[in-house]
Amino acid sequence: MLKYTTILLAPLLLGGIVGCQDNHELHQNPPQYITDQIDPYMPLAIEFVYNNEKHALENGTPLLPQYMEIAQRVGIKHPEKVRLLYVDKLPMPKNDSLKFQMERLGLDSPYLAGMTYGYGIYIKHSAKGDKLLLSHELIHVRQAEELGLEASPVSTFCN
């Protein structure tokens, strides 16, 4: 469970701590104090991730042909499953405790433009058409395909 905790929530929490820069090594090996703080939130976070994927799959739109091409180039096995959901605000948890932790770490920042949950990609209306953002989010879809939803990093992307 600690492995999934580290891989799933560390990018979310560390993203809020260190901002939008390349922190691959930190995400792969977060300090123990971070994983100790994350572990109690794991069941809530898993539910949040699955609910957001489900919502995007039910309410989102399939990739446009030009986006299918990007999805294929980044190596997604099933690009036909991807759904884009354009929103005014990226989703935040309803659970006050988990929401507080995400807010505390800046994950409610107006500068975040997209988040990916499995095959569900949330993109702010203000970033609609941003191919760099979409390419970034599609890489996280590929990671979810390769690792499984619980083991793949949840993505945030700054504009």
Three-state SS at 90: coil
Question: By three-state DSSP, how is residue 103 classified?
Answer: helix
CA 142 to CA 151: how far, in whole Å? 12
Give the global pTM. Answer: 0.75
Per-residue pLDDT of the chain (159 residues; tens, 9 = 90+): 334 333 445 455 444 433 445 556 655 677 888 778 778 888 888 899 999 999 999 999 999 999 999 999 999 999 999 999 999 999 999 999 899 988 887 888 889 999 999 999 999 999 999 999 999 999 999 999 988 766 554 444 444
Q: Interior CA angle at 76 toward 75 and 78, to 5°?
A: 145
Shortest CA distance to 123 belongs to which of 75, 91, 149, 76? Answer: 91
Pairing of strands 120-124, 83-87: parallel
